[in-house]
Structures are given as C-alpha cells and as structure tokens.
Chains A and B, each alone.
Chain A
C-alpha cells in the first residue's frame, strides 16, 4: 500500500519552508525527526490547560496531568509490547537510559574480571558508559568486529561469549550505516550463557516493529525525538525482575517510599528510577507521536522508507565519484556516502546551500569510522514524510557536486 505522503506532509508544518532560497529537503532524520502538528498542539495544550506536578497533588489539574502522563506510559508499553507499564521508565533520552543501566545494573551485577560485549557499530553513547563502568569495576569491554559492508561477524561474536560475559549491549540499527543487527540470534546466544542483553533502539524503534516479549531482550533504550516526539525524553524498558533487583539511579523526590534521616525506603518500579519532577509536558505530547505512528502503521512506514532507500541507491550509485558506505543487505533508511576527492563537510555544506539538510562527520561513531578508514561520511536518512521527488533532488545535487572533482 502506498502511504498518503501529501497528507502526511501536511501534518508537519516545519517542512513547508525555504532554506537558502530553496524548498527544505529534510534528510537528517537519524539525528532527529520533525514533529507532527498533533505533538506541537499537545505541548501547548498541556501548558495552556493542564500543567501541574504529577502523582502527589490533591487537585483537579494534578489529577488530570497524572492521568495523561500515565496514559503515555501505557502507550509506550503497547508500542513495544512490554508485559506491563511498570517496565517503562522515562529518561532524558537513549543516552541516559544506557547510563542508567550502566550505573545501576553495573553497580549490582558487574564485578572485577567480568566482561561486557559491544560491537564496532556502536554510537559513543553505547561505548563510553561501559568504558567508565569497566574502569571502575576492573571489568573488560569486548568488541564484536564487522565485515567490509558494515555487518557484525556473528561467528566472532559467539567466540567472545564466555561465562565471564555479563552483558551484551548492542545497537539494533546503526545510526551511521543503517545496518540492522541480527538481534534475535544475538539475544538467544547471549542468554544461552546467562548474559543479559541491552538493545540500543535509538535508530530502530521508528522503523521496525519491536516486541520486547518476542525478542526477549532484557533492556531496550530509545529516544522520543527520533520517533516524531519531543526532545529531551527517552525510554528505558527493562524486565521487572531486573528492575526490582537494581538499585535506584538518582535519589530525590518521587523515587522514595519513606524518608527518615536514619533510613529511606524506595518506591516501586517504575517510580524508583524516576527521581524528581519528570518531563511531564513532553511525556504527554509523546503519546500523540505514538498515535501518529500507529495510525500509519509501522509496516507501511518501513515499506515506504525501504522504497525511498532503494530509489536513492538506484539514482546515486551510478554517479561518477559516489562511494556508498555501509551496504549491508538488511538496513534501515540510512544512506551514508562519500564523494571521491571531497571532504564530507564540503559536500554537506554545498547540499545545505541547495536546501538539503544532511549530517556530515563521524556521527558519534569514531571507532567505526576508524575501522572503515574514513574521517567521516555524508549521511542522508529518510523518514515517513520524505518523498521520491526529494530523493531526485538529492541525486541531482550530489551529481552536480561530484562533477566538481570527478569529471
């Protein structure tokens, strides 16, 4: 089924503007997606009508905002098919979600000599928290290598697994290359030796259907702002039994049951991990983003984005000087590339002058770039509101830019 692209675009006011005198073509969706009108309206509606601190206030506004806030938690639960809404924790973003696990799961379960496995494809936010933890605990970080097209080498992953492995923390879909990792097999293999698995879902949740019960992952981290939702908001899913065993992340209000100067007892999950006043307005607006996705349907979104990626490959691959980076067979809609003899910064700037927004540089994956022998790439990433005619504009612009050095 073809999605009603024009109708969808109408829901995104930001897309209808000119940049540098040209109609905006927004291809930086892996960095952040734009927000539909329903999300924007919900934000202003919250501050216009419902603003109150949640869970404790004894008045109508507090009651209303608490209700809406918890409705989003239920919507997130359904979005990833968690068993119960208590397994959904709101954070600042994927980065904080991963740091929460590193800090609390790490404090409780990681000992000297233990091993944590990540892959070469990871974003810095799924590298640095583990390095910090390993340094603190005397544990070791093991890295799954990748092949030339940007896929992890599964046999090498299996060789890294040992009784010392306590956690595998792996990206579901690579932000820099788009590669989708075989997470079902990874989770199964990790569980077979008793290790837990955290999935970094920052780039996968907007494209792929995710069922945490079928996948059986122990943790899933993702961000609202890459899912057509507000910035500064993320989710950490974790299995109840793990969340219950993990110590709290931060101390403060909301996360306590009872406080005395002698002893404090902690609240139940999810509140145990949500110290302080949360990002109420953004949480409430996030539900509208999830509704937006649900209405179109993830399979339809994926099909549309796959079409865009295939069309982009078809148009750009023949361009003289075009070098695709990351050509795994199973990808989300990320097109990373370079142009022969040109620096990605220059290419990005010239595309910007033509109204086309892309990301350039190392994409917070410096070890991956080093492995590929690159300083960086140009990355065009596609979302549900992008169209084939925008892909044509990209191809035309890239062809023109490539001709400067590739005659």
Chain B
C-alpha cells in the first residue's frame, strides 16, 4: 500500500494535468465524488453530520485490524469529491498515521483558490473530524 505522502503526490500530479482551468478542475472533483463507497442510508443522521460545513456532510468511521475505515457522503457533488480525496489519502491507515498526517496536497493543488474560503473552512472541518475519529480509536487501543 502506498504511503500517505505517495498518495498525496499522485493527487498533486493529477491536478497538475488539469492546470489552471477551473471548470475542468471542478468537473474532475465532482467526478471523484461519484467514486465514493455507497454510504448506508440509515447513517444519514444528525449525529454523523460534520459541523462547520455549509453543505451537509456525513462521516462515519470503523476500526478493523488496527486500521481506520471511513465512509462519507454529502448532499453536494463538489463536497463529495473533496471528501473522497481525503478518504483516498487517509483510509485504512493506523490511527497514529492519520493523526500525524500532514495534508500538504490541499495547499499544493491550490484548493483554496478552487473552492473559495467558505468551502475551505468546511474542508478543514472534515479533516479535523477524521483526525478526531483516529484519536478516539487510538485512545481505545491504548486502554
């Protein structure tokens, strides 16, 4: 399995191909969202909504063999695409890897300029929630 950094580098080069064309970049992000693992409908509940996102984002996490598995969904396609990128980088890794991950791809692909400041805040909220899940599983493992 590729390392977190390797996956980030893959994403960076994919976005480099898209260049400055905002339209195709957004279209690409939306396409990525359609590749998300199907989210269980019964988990689309208030408790799983990430606070701080303008659109609705549901996130759940499971731990199996010491690795964290995320599933997420959103009511907007662009947000789905954004969270699918995070999942691609952080999924099925140990809690410690997730907690200490530095997600520099977001900055390197110029995400702020693509999605604007409001959605960037939402993206930060998603990362925080994923790290919180990892922290909770780590605490459980230790105890």
A residues with CB within 8 A of B: 20-21, 342-343, 345-346, 349-350, 352-354, 361, 375, 404
Distance between Cα atoms of A8 and B78 in the complex (Å): 37
**B25-65 Cβ-contact flags toward A at 8 Å (1 or 0):** 11100100000000000000000000000110000000000
Choose one: B20, B26, B75; the contact of A350 (CB below 8 Å): B26
Ranked nearest first, the 8 interchain pairs of A and B with the lowest CB-CB distance are A343-B76, A353-B23, A353-B22, A20-B22, A345-B76, A346-B77, A346-B76, A353-B26
Knowing A343-B55, A346-B30 are in contact, say whether A21-B22 is a contact too (CB < 8 A).
Answer: yes
Q: How far is the CB of A277 from chain B (nearest CB, A)?
A: 32
A352 to B55, alpha carbons, bound, how many Å? Answer: 17
- Can you identify 11 A-B contacts, CB atoms within 8 angstroms? A342-B77, A343-B76, A345-B54, A346-B30, A346-B77, A349-B26, A349-B116, A350-B23, A353-B22, A353-B25, A354-B23
CA distance A342 to B78 in the complex (A): 10
Q: Which residues of B contact A345 (CB under 8 A)?
A: 54-55, 76, 78-79
Residues of B within 8 A of A346 (CB): 30, 76-78
Query: Shortest beta-carbon distance, B98 to chain A, in Å?
Result: 28
A contact residues around B116 at 8 Å (CB): 349
Q: CA separation between A342 and B80, bound complex, in Å?
A: 12
Summarize B's interface: helix, strand, loop or mixed. helix
Residues of B within 8 A of A361 (CB): 54
List the A side residues contacting B21 at CB < 8 Å: 21
Chain B 68-99 interface mask (CB, 8 Å, partner A; 1/0)? 00000001111100000000000000000000
A-B contact count (CB 8 A): 35
**Could you say which interface size class chain B belongs to?**
10 to 19
**Which B residues contact A (CB, under 8 angstroms)?**
20-23, 25-27, 30, 54-55, 75-79, 115-116
Chain A residues closer than 8 Å to B76, beta-carbon distance: 343, 345-346
Please determine whether B75 and A343 come into contact, CB atoms closer than 8 angstroms. Answer: yes
A207: min CB distance to chain B, Å: 29
**A349 and B29 alpha carbons, distance in the complex (Å):** 12
Cα A375 to Cα B26 with chains together (Å) = 22
A349 touching B78, Cβ below 8 Å: yes
A345-B76, A350-B23, A350-B27 are known; give 7 further A-B pairs, CB within 8 A: A345-B54, A345-B55, A346-B30, A352-B22, A353-B22, A353-B23, A353-B25
| Chain B residue at minimum C-beta to C-beta distance from A344 | B76
Q: Which of A20, A21, A342 has the most CB of B within 10 A?
A: A20
In the bound assembly, the distance between CA atoms of A21 and B78 in angstroms comes to 21
**Nearest B residue to A341, CB-CB:** B77
Q: Are A343 and B23 in contact (CB under 8 A)?
A: no
A108 to B115, CA, bound (A): 48
B35 CB to nearest chain A CB (Å): 15
Task: Assess the B22–A343 pair: CB atoms within 8 A.
Answer: no
Shortest Cβ distance from residue B58 to the other chain A in the assembled complex, whole angstroms: 14
Residues of A within 8 A of B78 (CB): 345-346, 349
Cα separation A354 to B23 with both chains bound (whole Å): 7
| Chain A: CB-nearest residue to B20 | A21
Q: Distance in Å from the Cβ of A116 to the closest Cβ of chain B?
A: 32
Q: How far is the CA of A361 from the CA of B75 in the complex (A)?
A: 13
User: Smallest Cβ distance from A3 to chain B, in angstroms?
Assistant: 32
**Which residue on chain B has the smallest CB distance to residue A375?**
B75
- Residues of A near B55 (CB, < 8 A) are 343, 345
Instruction: Report which residue of A342, A346, A352 has the largest number of chain B beta carbons within 10 angstroms of its beta carbon.
Output: A346
Inter-chain contacts of A349 with B (CB < 8 A): 26, 78, 115-116
Nearest CB in chain A: distance from B14 CB, A:
18
Which residue of the partner chain B has the closest CB to A20?
B22
With both chains docked as a complex, state the minimum distance between the C-beta of A24 and any C-beta of chain B, in angstroms: 14
